[in-house]
Copies of this chain bind each other. A is one copy, B any other.
Amino acid sequence: MRELTFSKAINEALETAMRIDDSVIKYGLGVTDPLGVFNTTLDLEEKFGKDRVFDMPTSENAMTGVAVGASIGGLKPVMTHQRLDFFLLAMDQLVNNAAKWNFMFGGNSSVPITIRLIIGRGWGQGPTHAQSLQAWFAHIPGLKVVMPTTPQDAKGLLLESIFDPNPVIFLEHRWLHNMVGDVPEDDDFRVAIGKCEILKSGNDVTIVSMSYMSIEAIHAAEKLTENGISCEIIDLKTVSPVDWETIYESVEKTKRIIVLDTSSEFASIASDIVAKVSTKFFNVLKSAPQIIALPDVHSPTSYHLSGNYYKDAKDIVVEIANMFDKNIDVSDFMTKEHHDIPGDWFKGPF
């Protein structure tokens, strides 16, 4: 094992994929530029040439259709968009083509493409640079939707996504790019799509979480442990298809659930998980299931507004304490100088 940042882990996955399989290609705005999409695409053009690694016109919809075509022609395209919001231009090609292709042609042809989308947050990203639309993608049959939290999963899941015969939406939370974590030495290390992971076992309550919110969950669980509440944290990793078995087993044990989501709440992944658990474990649950997600409001730009908009470890502690009719003081828990950056490395503007 060695320590890598999340960005570097992604860069390694891309490098490995392109090296072991000539059919992997990589394109997107900024892929060949000096910043290399937050360092994730650095050196790829040099190593694999301009044919396989390239910048593109600002034409999100056609370039998604181009990926579909290239993939049925035998390539494995990996696209990137610097913000999920920009990819709204490509919903037609994503849904009407990529997601439906294998189905509508009766399994005769599938679309092995990977689309990396970055979810923005902080430093005034505001309404057009911070959307978190995993619920949209997960609502569409035929897409796989992956949201890694750790550098290890970022690498292993990206490799698995690239070599999956189906279209995969790979969602990177901007606040994870500089997080550091252990990553196996193994060059072509894979993490299975469709499996979640128990980040921490516990007995009293199941926290189901995803992406950056799992980091907040870890902090919250520590505080809760100090206060005698033992949390089991399930990091979803794949939000479609969901690994229901692992969630159900945990709920069966803890009999309580709270789901954290990086998106706004209405018709979200979180609401679906709560719905499924409520339907199936009606007689098991000891207290009402809970959700912590963003309000059904766009992300406001102002520094003075975003602090209340986003949820963090404190909110989780308070909500879980409530489930146990406890009161835990969080007044000076996890307080940082600026709420709108993940750490000092983030200097804005994006």
Contact = CB atoms under 8 A, between A and B. Distances in A.
Given A91-B89, A271-B267, A127 B104 contact: yes
B274 A278 contact: yes
Instruction: Pick from A85, A127, A282 the residue with the most CB of B within 10 Å.
Output: A127
B296 A141 contact: yes
Interface in A246-284: 263-272, 274-276, 278-280, 282-283
A275 B269 CA distance: 11
A43 to B, nearest CB: 32
Q: How many copies does the complex hold?
A: 2
A263 B264 CA distance: 20
A141 B298 contact: yes
A126 interface: yes
Contacts of A95: 88, 131
Given A92-B89, A100-B298, A272 B268 contact: yes
Contacts of A135: 135, 139, 267
A1 interface: no
Interface residues of A, number: 53
A240 interface: yes
A139 B267 contact: yes
A178 interface: no
Instruction: Pick from A126, A135, A270 the residue with the most CB of B within 10 Å.
Output: A135
Contact of A298 (B103, B265, B276): B103
A61 to B, nearest CB: 7
A238 to B, nearest CB: 13
Interface stretch (A33-41, A201-209, A287-295): A287-295
Contacts of A291: 275, 279
Interface in A88-106: 88-89, 91-92, 95-96, 99-100, 103-104
Contacts of A88: 91-92, 95-96
Contact of A136 (B136, B274, B275): B136
A279 B272 contact: no
Nearest to A269: B267
B138 A126 contact: no
Given A103-B127, A278-B288, 7 more contacts: A88-B91, A104-B301, A133-B139, A267-B267, A271-B274, A274-B274, A279-B291
8 contacts: A85-B96, A89-B91, A103-B298, A139-B268, A141-B297, A267-B268, A267-B271, A278-B289
